Amino acid sequence: MTDRYAVIGNPIEQSKSPLIHTAFAQVTGQDIAYTKLLAPLGGFAAAVDVFRASGGRGMNVTAPFKLDAFAYATDLALSAQMAGAVNAMKFEGDRVLGENFDGVGLVRDVVHNLAFPVQGKRVLILGAGGATRGALLPLLAEQPAELVIVNRTVAKAQELAALAHQHQSGQVPVTGLGYEAVQGQFDVVLNASSSSLGAELPPLHPEVFAPGCLAYDLTYGKGLTPFLKLAQQAGVTRLADGVGMLAEQAAEAFAWWRGVRPYTAAVIATLTVPLV
């Protein structure tokens, strides 16, 4: 019997999830049907209820419903609790398991796909929203030398730094700063702010990029964003967008649902937009 899954959002037409999960099902031999579900604003719970009642097994969740999914889930994984948001759900009877795979997807893309170890490196992450919250524990698990969170509203960056210290088992220094207070050079600079969505340049000094640095924009499919252009002009040659993160978080969800983890290289190659 074919198992049903979906991605829910508003808008939803732009979602690559059906393409990705259908490809994963083909290469792993899994019998699933994966569709897009447009839910009205304010109608998330009702739409999910209908999908579950019709036999749906799980869902990916995209904007603007990740907070709705967080509230809807009955069982929240630590990753979801840290992110304060849910991007994948699994339905088991009356239970709704909520996960957030964005952070682990990001780290897997950086460390495995891009072959850029984080251990012992200085890491700078721009933004203090849900994407950064979700990335904290997976990044800290890689044991960087230091993690600095920078945000226009300094208090939010400091709040996330305190959260990281509260949950990490190691002793990685984590600091929350405003942009004007960032000092020194960093081996990994991650743009998790919303700047690239509006084609804006974050107020970052180009001297933060160390020689051999990796500059990574969590948005995908937008080519050379203002952030990546800034890094390129500063001499950075290792540039990446979030297409690998998209594929890797999808693979984590697929493995969670189906018990088999698909290879992601073909999907990443299909979705990659040249950084020009």
SS (H, E, C) 40-98: CCCCHHHHHHHHHHCCEEEEEECCCCHHHHHHHCCEECHHHHHHCCCCEEEEECCEEEE
pTM of the model: 0.94
What is the pLDDT, as a whole number, of residue 36?
98
What is the pLDDT, as a whole number, of residue 194?
84
What is the pLDDT, as a whole number, of residue 4?
98
Q: Do domains 3-100 and 115-241 have the same CATH topology?
A: yes
Q: CA 175, 181, 186, 189: dihedral to nearest 10 degrees?
A: 80
Distance of alpha carbon 34 from alpha carbon 251, whole angstroms: 14
Clarify whether 121 is annotated catalytic. no
What is the pLDDT, as a whole number, of residue 240?
98
What is the pLDDT, as a whole number, of residue 167?
82
What pLDDT, in 10s, does the model give residues 114-136? Answer: 999 999 999 999 999 989 999 99
What is the pLDDT, as a whole number, of residue 139?
96
Per-residue pLDDT of the chain (276 residues; tens, 9 = 90+): 899 999 999 999 999 999 999 999 999 999 999 999 999 999 999 999 999 999 999 999 999 999 999 999 999 999 999 999 999 999 999 999 999 999 999 999 999 999 999 999 999 999 999 899 999 999 999 999 999 999 999 999 999 999 998 887 678 999 999 999 999 999 999 999 988 777 788 899 999 999 999 999 999 989 999 999 999 999 999 999 999 999 999 999 999 999 999 999 999 999 999 998
Architecture of domain 3-100: 3-Layer(aba) Sandwich (3.40)
Distance of alpha carbon 99 from alpha carbon 77, whole angstroms: 5
What is the pLDDT, as a whole number, of residue 159?
96
What is the pLDDT, as a whole number, of residue 168?
77
At 276, which amino acid appears? V
CATH number of 115-241: 3.40.50.720
What is the pLDDT, as a whole number, of residue 80?
95
What is the pLDDT, as a whole number, of residue 18?
97
- The structural domains of the chain, with segments of one domain joined by +, span 3-100, 115-241
Which one is catalytic: 16, 36, 66, 90?
A: 66
Give the chain's count of helices (H) and strands (E): 10, 12
